[in-house]
Amino acid sequence: MTSDFAELLPQLESERDIALRRLQDAFAQGQLTSSELDQRLHLALTARDRDQLVAATALPVPFDDRSLAIVARRGTIRRRGPWRVPRVMRIESDYSKVDLDFSRAVFESPTVDLELQLRFGPARIILPANTVVDLDGLQSDWKQPRYTPPRHSTMSGRLIRIHGAMEYGRLRIRHRRR
């Protein structure tokens, strides 16, 4: 068995080099965070067979092709700080509070479709200053969303289209304060 491993070692080392370059390229293209890169590099460098190497280099679907779905029954759905915003997001909640702060988020697309399916919890959305909001597709059974566009709004920013349904919660939208 030792001789079999010795024969496979040069081939595994060659595949390991390819895997390391692939991971570095994925990081450079924004598919991996620095902590994900560190973890995957460690896994690739310590892989003892091809299956472990394949597992270390299995990359997520490219970000532009993804959408984000968050489903919660209770608690809080929260996104803050620098986080990636896909082109399509779906937030579904029964009794949860929704708190989405887009003010420091990284947008991968100039237009974001945000579908809200909220039953009883409140929702708060904080937007960057140069964002245009379209609420035409949102149905609200109880209270209408509270949103006042900024006074000096330019219609040249990114667009967030909010659609879906709210039953007994209230949606509050505001722009980041300077």
**For 118-173, how does the pLDDT look when each residue is reduced to its tens digit (9 = 90+)?**
998 899 999 988 888 999 899 988 888 988 887 766 656 789 999 999 998 889 99
Please give the Cα distance from 18 to 140 (Å, whole number): 53
**Which pLDDT score, from 0 to 100, does residue 59 have?**
66
pLDDT tens for residues 86-125? 889 999 988 889 999 999 998 888 899 999 999 988 999 9
pLDDT-derived band at 63 (thresholds 50, 70, 90) equals: very low
Give the C-alpha distances (Å, rounded to integers) separating 149 from 108, 126, 130, 139, 173. Answer: 23, 12, 10, 19, 9
Please give the Cα distance from 175 to 32 (Å, whole number): 29
